[in-house]
Structure 1
Amino acid sequence: MKRNQHRKRARARQLSPLYLTLLTAVAHAQSQNQNTADNPTAAPGGSLAPVFVTANPLGDSNLISPATALYGDALTLRQTNSLGETLNGLPGVSTTTYGPMVGRPIIRGMDGDRIRLLQNGVAAWDASSLSYDHAVPQEPLTIERVEIVRGPAALLYGGNAIGGVVNTIDNRIPREAIKGIDGAVDASYGGANNARAGAAMVEGGNGQFAFHVDAFDRETSKERIPGFAHSDRQRALDGPDADEAYGSIPNSDGRWHGGAVGSSYTWADGYAGLSYNGYEANYGSVAEDDVRLRMHQDHVAFASEVRNLNGPFSQLKFDFGYTDYEHKEIDNGVTGTTFRNHGYEARIEARHRKLGPLEGAIGIQLSQNTFSALGDEALVPTTQTTNVALFGLEEWNVTDAFKLSAGARYEHVKQEPTAAGNDRFASATDRDFNAISASLGALYKLTPVWAVAGNVGYTERAPALYELYANGPHDATGQYLIGNPDAQKEKAVSADLSLRFDSGHNKGSVGVFYSRFRNYLTEFNTGRLVNDDDEVVPAGTDDALNEAVYRGVRAEFYGIELDSKWRVFEKGAHEVDVSLIGDYTHARNMDTGQPLPRISPLRATLAVDYGYGPFGARAEMEHAWAQHRVPEDDLPTASYTRLGLIFTYKFHVGATNWLAYVRGDNLTNQDIRYASSVVRDIAPEGGRSVMVGMRTTF
């Protein structure tokens, strides 16, 4: 879009409501350091890259916490069918999968209610944390920027951010003045499931009033795979007479569409605006050939910010979101279960004036949502969850080379279940929790190009409703889940330490992390096979489920993350960069010594980028080692090496800017099964594929 540099800087400063609430600032992201002329994954509009505003409330470029920002062409070229797969492979980030349509981000081996998913800084309620077959209702084509914060720095978003925060940012509420009309159009075709995707956006204004309109549509066919859908080990368990799918994954197609409208009033020192967006989806369950999921979400948001105030506070920010979500699981045309989740979240943040050497902010967050599961898979009772939280952070620039930060959060969580006539939940009772989190961070510049940064935090997480009250069949995982109504808070001490280098085109970071949990809530199989009524059945019974209960254990997570980029050749307009990304997570149950489930193995990605004027090319090779550290009742995953190529070309037609690209994925046609996927042994990732796409801005 044709916007001047002042506007780009203003949007980057104002875009994210996360920026007042994290303890520390974040490391430069891989994509943040690239120049458009250099590299096809750079930010649009030349070398000016948006400032990473998450965890950077004071506008300081000396960043502390490990994090990644993805935006511009880098985001366009990574977009896939799900949010999780789009982010998969970034440092410390993997994905759940339940076929090509479903993927929720995993950070440092933690998923579900330990990862906080936000839209523009507040919750948009769904059911993705309850079950692996529930998609995140976000279309990657409509996202302008993704910010990922890992480790202790995310704790000011509460216990549900104990593993990290993923904040998707759009401009559906314009946060700065717009004069005239601009917009963008995206279109792509291809991939292993022949995805046909398109999105369009138009923004305009008169310098005070601004508007935003967008729409998107994505339709896919069944996912093509290199061989059998079931793995070798699974086919051995299936027996010789089983009918085995080959060449594609049954029931893996889908379609989703939606759009948004928004408007705001802007002035020199702030803005206020309102938006609405809707999302519709219909996709198949890869574990059940006759089951379709139909999803609908409505989300209304209000946001406002006032700057340059007199008095004790120099800036106030308010964000509010209300969501009405529903999805139905339809078996052979008959609705079996209906999941609903509706509620709101509001957040007020105030940046105070400098108090001696301290700069910082305080805030309050309020949320309430009601979740229900009605029908055959009434896994949990209708439950209302209310959360009230206070938070704050302070930062002290001790010297030009040394900075300290500290933050804390107190929250009160109340769970109120209602049996609604279902005898399985008749004994469920209200639970209240008071959770406290605190963190310290520091950054020290060893030299102008070398720095060391560290964080340590203590976090408490209240049990989620399903960890307390679950009592029903869960076909998506083949379990009958039983919650622990007496479960206590999950408590963790976490730390990370990183060494960084930043000199022009050459940038790198290597870091280690460690988390130790008391009362880590996880599932334990009892060894019994049961039916939908939790009655014991013999082995071999059709539709038999593994009975599993939630139990608190001691657990630890530790690992390493690497992110680096080096300019290895530059002559005239020819430029070559080499990038290396790697991560490893080790997670175990300290009570038994057993590995925790669904942990990605050691991974490494080597990429070479070539730029010559408007032409760009990228070759990327990812290798994941085998994962043999799995619980006793899980199957291991084999290693794989995936090769990808991207070719890009940028050009202008009149007042429009164009990006054309061709992307080849899994060119060696590897049988890829993510260790983090609950359906890895029945639904691998896509085989060799090519996608073509075009993006234009005006």
Structure 2
Amino acid sequence: MESPAHHLAGPAVRARTSLAAALVLALGAFTAQAQDAPAANVPPDSDPRHPDQAEDPHVRDLDAVRVSASLFGSTADQLSRPVEVLSGEKLDEVRAASLGETVAGLPGVQSSNFGPGVGRPIIRGMDGPRVAVMSNGLSSADVSTVSQDHAPAIEPFLADQIEVLKGPSTLLYGSGAIGGAVNVVDGRIAETPIEGVTGRAETRIDVGDKDGQTSMARLDAGNGGLSIHADGVYRNANDYDTPRGRQPNSFIDTKSGAFGASLAGDWGFIGVSVARFNDRYGNPGEPGDPAAGEPGVHLEMHQDRFEMKGGLNEPWGQGSGLRYSFGHTRYDHTEYEGSQAGTMFKKNANEGRVEATFAAANGWKTAVGLQGNDSTFQAIGEEAFVPRTETTSVGVFAVAQNAWGRFSTDLGARVDRVRYDTDTGLSPDFTPLSLSTSFGFRLDEHWRLTANLDHAQRAPAEEELFADGPHIATLAYEIGGAGLDKEKANQAELGLSYRNDRVDAKVSAYYNRYDKFIYLADTGAQWSFEEQGRSLPIRQWTQGDAVFHGFEGEATWHLADSDSTGAWDLHVFGDTVRARLKDGGNLPRIAPGRFGGELRWQASAWRASLGATRYMRQDKVATDETETAGYTLVDAHLAYHLDAGPTSWEVFLDGSNLADQDARVHTSFLKDRVMLPGRSASFGVRMFF
């Protein structure tokens, strides 16, 4: 069949509970050894429920956790840029099958949705190739930006902490972070010496409208110099139910694990890790028809990843440092219709990064860095709508930071060179430039004002440049724009925070003007499947000016804290984003505004919470896009913690969508056919030692 480009410009498997038991028993054996071993030298931002960390203030103050994505080792509340950190018990309560769903409760952050197996973070309305998904500061190197039914190769259950950088983050991570970045820190390569044995294990069972189980285990051991690490996750979930019935082809089956080793001391550290990620999940957008013998479509993903990283402490004097990292990834996934293999997507990638930091006597901290990436992507089969593409990029950046009394500033610049080489003979290259400045001013001991100004540029992604074929995930025939130019963003943001013994609060407003914003435009033409007797709309990647603006805020009131009543906290939040083309018209699949609240209680061994989030009706839609009704999700958490010597146990019960609401995710291409699960609960046990 002739391409429209010539005519236009341009049965889930059973849950393996025996594995869960084996994981817990295996770690239990190590616990006996740990009881006689010296206490581990645990980093200050590690899990706070370990007995050695019982008084760690990070349990309730995530802003005090060190942000690894900050070159100068700053904590979240020291940064002028908007950063959110999930760790400790709060991360445990929100861990989900996908990275997007795990972070979706943070202000300004929501998730894409292509069933429970696929969820990519959406930050302030930005998603796909505008939001970088990283593992320990290096790209996840999957193909989740190529199509909305492709999952990121990241396992949230193995994360020590998850950092969300909101707003342009191109300065540190390149043009693919023009809308923000999500960095998953897993601790597989220990950066500080470990003595003795520590670890954790968890198994949970989903009941109600969800039917599945997840088990994980982690072990860290060391002798004060050499440290080793091992982890693993197994997840199995059958098709879930919604308030309107079963959601066909929504199953998940995931296996993931890694080993790591490192040498660490006062001089610094060096280490390596190897990881494997296997994922099998259904596409509920193509459920098939079992009654008619028509199988549904599912995806089988495989990724092998090797990482090496190291650092030197104060190689050029006090306050200086050198860090380096390298990652090699082999990725493939195949889309199956029943047992018949369809399209295969493959990607091999190498990435390296070096950062050097310095400190001057006049208070300035500076850093320079170099980042390079080389990858090869190809698709083979009926839906190979993007040609084989080799991508090479290199970027250099420099940042500086200083503070004078109540005033602080951060300055930075970065330039990249990105080149594509395709089998079709196209070889465009781009030179994105990023400039950034941020200011912080402490009005008094409670109030702090921040301001950010950013100019960021993004090179078009492979699918935006070279697409030419039917793309079933978007239900369209996509045509790339080989002549697309760099996308340019100019953002201004103003933030205000307040903190005292009773209240923690922050609010921010932002305005982002895009020049040559890249989007998929409807041409009005149709492409016919001659063999299937149906047609798809023909859409072409094009450019136009766009504006994104919005605000977000959250506040926590510490209502009471006493031995008799326990600690009571009330948390409220809200966010909204508006996105439109400058010449008129709304951009599609923009996350709706929302607001919510949560009441938390903690006393002795118990903690509990009850919360609700209202998602507003989204009626500011693009041409031919349907509206989405509003809904309210109610959730609850209950946990009992028990310390038994160096071992801690935690029994927990989590509830989701307790009001059994009809909920459709507006950011999803499948929102008119796929709903979120109805009333569900997860019951499980965690062990720490």
Change (3 A) 1:548 1:47: closer
Paired residue for 2:510, among 494, 510, 513? 513
* Letter matched to residue 586 of structure 1: R
Aligned position for 2:654: 663
User: 70-79 or 356-365: which moved more?
Assistant: 356-365
Aligned position for 2:261: 263
Moved over 6 A (4+): 1-6, 36-39, 45-48
Paired residue for 1:111, among 124, 127, 138? 127
Residues 112 and 121, structure 2, Cα contact 8 Å, conserved in 1: yes
Q: Does 1:481 align with 2:515?
A: no
CA shift for structure 1 position 11: 6.8
Q: Does 1:139 align with 2:155?
A: yes
> Residue 476 of structure 1: SS of its match in structure 2?
helix
Aligned partners of 2:68 and 2:503: how far apart in 1?
22
Aligned position for 1:210: 227
Aligned position for 2:335: 329
Residues 38 and 575, structure 1, Cα contact 8 Å, conserved in 2: no
Aligned position for 2:4: none
Residues 83 and 136, structure 1, Cα contact 8 Å, conserved in 2: yes
Q: Does 1:248 align with 2:246?
A: yes
Residues 210 and 240, structure 2, Cα contact 8 Å, conserved in 1: yes
- Structure 1 residues without counterparts, runs of 5 or longer: 13-30, 228-246, 420-427
Q: Does 1:415 align with 2:437?
A: no
Q: Deviations over 1:615-649 (max 9, x none)?
A: 11101010011000011211100010111111111
TM-score (norm 2): 0.89
Alignment of 1:264-303 (within 5 A): 264-289=262-287, 290-303=296-309
Aligned position for 1:199: 216
Aligned position for 1:64: 80
* Letter matched to residue 7 of structure 1: V
CA shift for structure 1 position 405: 1.0
Q: Does 1:388 align with 2:404?
A: no
Paired residue for 2:546, among 555, 580, 586? 555
Q: Deviations over 1:572-617 (max 9, x none)?
A: 34221100111000000112x1111111111001110011211111
Change (3 A) 1:103 1:38: farther
Change (3 A) 1:563 1:10: closer
CA shift for structure 1 position 37: 8.4
Residues 156 and 437, structure 1, Cα contact 8 Å, conserved in 2: no
Q: Deviations over 1:376-423 (max 9, x none)?
A: 0011000011010000100121x210011100100000010114xxxx
Paired residue for 1:304, among 302, 310, 334? 310
Aligned partners of 1:458 and 1:92: how far apart in 2?
20
CA shift for structure 1 position 67: 1.1
Paired residue for 2:469, among 469, 472, 485? 472
Residues 39 and 196, structure 2, Cα contact 8 Å, conserved in 1: no
Residues 11 and 175, structure 1, Cα contact 8 Å, conserved in 2: no
Q: Deviations over 1:85-121 (max 9, x none)?
A: 1111211101100011110000000001100111000
Aligned partners of 1:444 and 1:7: how far apart in 2?
33
Aligned position for 2:69: 54
Change (3 A) 1:542 1:615: farther
* Letter matched to residue 678 of structure 1: F
TM-score (norm 1): 0.88
Q: Does 1:101 align with 2:88?
A: no
Residues 359 and 395, structure 1, Cα contact 8 Å, conserved in 2: yes
CA shift for structure 1 position 5: 9.5
CA shift for structure 1 position 653: 2.8
Aligned partners of 2:212 and 2:54: how far apart in 1?
29
Q: Deviations over 1:648-672 (max 9, x none)?
A: 1111234211221111111110000
Residues 38 and 612, structure 1, Cα contact 8 Å, conserved in 2: no
Change (3 A) 1:327 1:505: farther
Residues 452 and 492, structure 2, Cα contact 8 Å, conserved in 1: yes
Change (3 A) 1:330 1:10: closer
Aligned partners of 2:560 and 2:453: how far apart in 1?
39
> Residue 76 of structure 1: SS of its match in structure 2?
helix
* Letter matched to residue 368 of structure 1: D
> Residue 69 of structure 2: SS of its match in structure 1?
coil
> Residue 222 of structure 1: SS of its match in structure 2?
coil
Aligned position for 2:558: 567
> Residue 75 of structure 1: SS of its match in structure 2?
helix
Q: How many residues align?
A: 640
Residues 493 and 508, structure 2, Cα contact 8 Å, conserved in 1: yes
CA shift for structure 1 position 10: 7.8
Change (3 A) 1:153 1:366: closer
Paired residue for 2:639, among 648, 661, 664? 648
Aligned partners of 2:575 and 2:231: how far apart in 1?
36
Paired residue for 1:687, among 673, 678, 684? 678
* Letter matched to residue 137 of structure 1: A
Aligned position for 1:494: 491
Aligned partners of 2:656 and 2:612: how far apart in 1?
10
Q: Does 1:433 align with 2:430?
A: yes
Paired residue for 1:455, among 452, 456, 478? 452
Residues 370 and 385, structure 1, Cα contact 8 Å, conserved in 2: yes
Aligned position for 1:18: none
Aligned position for 2:620: 629
CA shift for structure 1 position 451: 0.6
* Letter matched to residue 258 of structure 1: S
Aligned partners of 1:611 and 1:283: how far apart in 2?
37
Aligned partners of 2:61 and 2:512: how far apart in 1?
40
Aligned partners of 1:98 and 1:361: how far apart in 2?
40
Aligned partners of 1:450 and 1:10: how far apart in 2?
25
Aligned partners of 1:400 and 1:56: how far apart in 2?
21
Aligned position for 1:17: none
Aligned partners of 1:62 and 1:214: how far apart in 2?
32
Residues 505 and 554, structure 2, Cα contact 8 Å, conserved in 1: yes
Residues 338 and 373, structure 1, Cα contact 8 Å, conserved in 2: yes
User: 637-646 or 55-64: which moved more?
Assistant: 55-64
Q: Deviations over 1:205-249 (max 9, x none)?
A: 11111100111100001011001xxxxxxxxxxxxxxxxxxx111
User: 445-454 or 501-510: which moved more?
Assistant: 501-510
Q: Does 1:404 align with 2:409?
A: yes
Paired residue for 1:184, among 200, 206, 221? 200
Change (3 A) 1:38 1:86: farther
Residues 124 and 299, structure 1, Cα contact 8 Å, conserved in 2: no
* Letter matched to residue 509 of structure 2: V
* Letter matched to residue 409 of structure 2: L
Change (3 A) 1:77 1:411: same
Aligned position for 1:26: none
Residues 381 and 417, structure 1, Cα contact 8 Å, conserved in 2: yes
Change (3 A) 1:223 1:155: farther
CA shift for structure 1 position 311: 6.3
Aligned partners of 2:267 and 2:638: how far apart in 1?
42
Residues 334 and 345, structure 2, Cα contact 8 Å, conserved in 1: yes
> Residue 174 of structure 1: SS of its match in structure 2?
coil
> Residue 130 of structure 1: SS of its match in structure 2?
coil
Sequence identity, in percent?
32
> Residue 168 of structure 2: SS of its match in structure 1?
helix
* Letter matched to residue 234 of structure 2: D
Change (3 A) 1:200 1:278: same
CA shift for structure 1 position 180: 1.3
Residues 380 and 469, structure 1, Cα contact 8 Å, conserved in 2: yes
Aligned partners of 1:149 and 1:47: how far apart in 2?
14
Residues 65 and 153, structure 1, Cα contact 8 Å, conserved in 2: no
